[in-house]
Amino acid sequence: MIKVENLYKSFDDLAVLQNIDTTINHGEVVAVIGPSGSGKSTLLRCMNLLETPTEGHIWIDGEDLTIPSTNILKVRQKIGMVFQHFHLFPHMKVIDNLTYAPMTVKGLSKNEAEVSADKLLAQVGLSDKKDAYPNSLSGGQKQRVAIARALAMEPELMLFDEPTSALDPEMVKEVLDVIKSLADSGMTMVVVTHEMGFAKEVADRIIFMDYGQIVEESKPEDFFSSAKTDRARGFLDKVL
Amino acid sequence: MNLDFSQVVPYIPFILEGIWVTLGFVIVAIIIGFFIGALVALVKISHVKFLRQLADLYTSIFRGTPLILQLMIVYYGIPQLLEYDISPFLAAILTFGLNSSAYVSEIVRAGIQAVDKGQLEAAQALGIPYRQTMVKIILPQAMKNILPALMNEFITLTKESAIVSVINYLDLMRRARVVGADLYSPLEPLIIVGVIYYMMVMVLTMLGKLLERRLRKSD
Per-residue pLDDT tens over the stretch B174-189: 999 999 999 999 999 9
Q: Which chain B residues have a beta carbon less than 8 Å from that of A80?
A: 125
- Rounded CA-CA distance B130/B135 in Å is 9
B124 CB neighbours in chain A (<8 A) are 48, 50, 76
How far apart CA B132 and CA A117 sit, in angstroms, is 20
Q: How far is B146 from chain A (nearest CA, A)?
A: 15
> Which residue stretches of chain A are H helix?
40-46, 72-77, 94-105, 110-123, 139-151, 169-184, 196-202, 220-225, 230-239
For residue B11, is pLDDT > 90? yes
Between A48, A87, A104, which is nearest B119 by CB? A87
- Residue B130: closest C-alpha in chain A: A73
Q: How far apart are CA B157 and CA B164, in angstroms?
A: 11
Helices and strands of chain A, counted as H and E runs: 9, 10
- Overall number of domains in chain B: 1
Structure confidence at residue A212 (pLDDT) = 94
Q: Is residue B56 over pLDDT 80?
A: yes
Query: Domain residues of chain A, as ranges?
Result: 2-237
Which residues of chain A have a CB within 8 Å of the CB of B121? 50, 83, 87
Average pLDDT over residues B71-93: 94
Residues A104, B132: C-beta atoms closer than 8 Å: yes
Mean pLDDT, to the nearest integer, of B85-92?
94
Chains A, B: CB pairs < 8 Å:
65
pLDDT value at position A126?
A: 96
pLDDT at B219: 75
CATH of the domain at B77: 1.10.3720.10
Residue B187 phi, psi dihedral angles, 5° rounding: -65, -45
- Chain B CB contacts of A150 under 8 Å are 125-126
Q: What is the pLDDT of residues A2-19, one digit of tens each?
A: 999 999 999 988 899 999
Q: For an interface test with A, which of B47, B117, B121, B126 has the most A Cβ atoms less than 10 Å from its Cβ?
A: B126
- Of the candidates B116, B127, B219, the beta carbon closest to that of A105 is on B127
Distance (Å, rounded) from C-alpha A36 to C-alpha A193? Answer: 11
Whole-angstrom distance, CA of residue B54 vs CA of residue B199: 38
Residues of chain A with Cβ-Cβ distance to B126 below 8 Å are 76-77, 101, 105, 149-150, 153
CB contact under 8 A, B218 and A90: yes
ipTM: 0.93
What residues of chain B have any CB closer than 8 angstroms to a CB in chain A? 116, 118-119, 121-129, 132, 136-137, 140-141, 144, 215, 217-219
* A94–chain B nearest CA distance, Å: 11
**Chain A residues with beta carbon closer than 8 angstroms to that of B132:** 104
Query: In which domain, by residue range, is B96 found?
Result: 5-218
How many angstroms separate the CA atoms of A82 and B126, rounded?
Answer: 10
Q: Which residues contact A53 (CB under 8 A, 6 or more apart)?
A: A7, A8, A9, A17, A46, A66
Closest Cβ opposite residue B141 in set A73, A90, A153: A90
Chain A residues inside the 8 Å CB shell of B219: 133, 135
- Whether B218 shows a pLDDT value over 80: the answer reads no
* A4 φ, ψ (degrees, to nearest 5): -110, 130
Task: Give the span between the Cα atoms of B119 and B136, in whole angstroms.
Answer: 11
Per-residue pLDDT of A204-224, as tens digits, reads 999 999 999 999 999 999 999
The pLDDT tens digits of the residues spanning B141-173 come to 999 889 999 999 999 999 999 999 999 899 999
Q: Coil, helix or strand for A127?
A: helix
Nearest to B127 among A73, A91, A149 (CB): A73
Please indicate whether, in this complex, the C-beta atoms of A91 and B140 are within 8 angstroms of each other. Answer: yes
Q: Which of A91, A105, A135 sits opposite B126 (nearest CB)?
A: A105
Residue B1, pLDDT score = 74
Question: Which of chain B's residues have a Cβ under 8 Å away from the Cβ of A79?
Answer: 125
pTM over 0.90: no
Residue of B nearest to A73 (CA): B127
Percentage of residues in chain B having pLDDT higher than 90: 90
pLDDT band at A132 (very low <50, low <70, confident <90, very high): very high
- Whether residue B125 and residue A149 make contact (CB cut-off 8 A), yes or no, is no
- Report the CATH superfamily, name and number, of domain A2-237: P-loop containing nucleotide triphosphate hydrolases (3.40.50.300)
Does position B217 have pLDDT exceeding 80, yes or no?
no
- In A, which residues are within 8 Å of B140 by CB distance? 91
Instruction: State the helix-helix crossing angle for A110-123 and A139-151, rounded to 10 degrees.
Output: 130
Nearest to B127 among A90, A91, A153 (CB): A153
Check if the beta carbon of residue A102 is closer than 8 Å to that of residue A113. yes
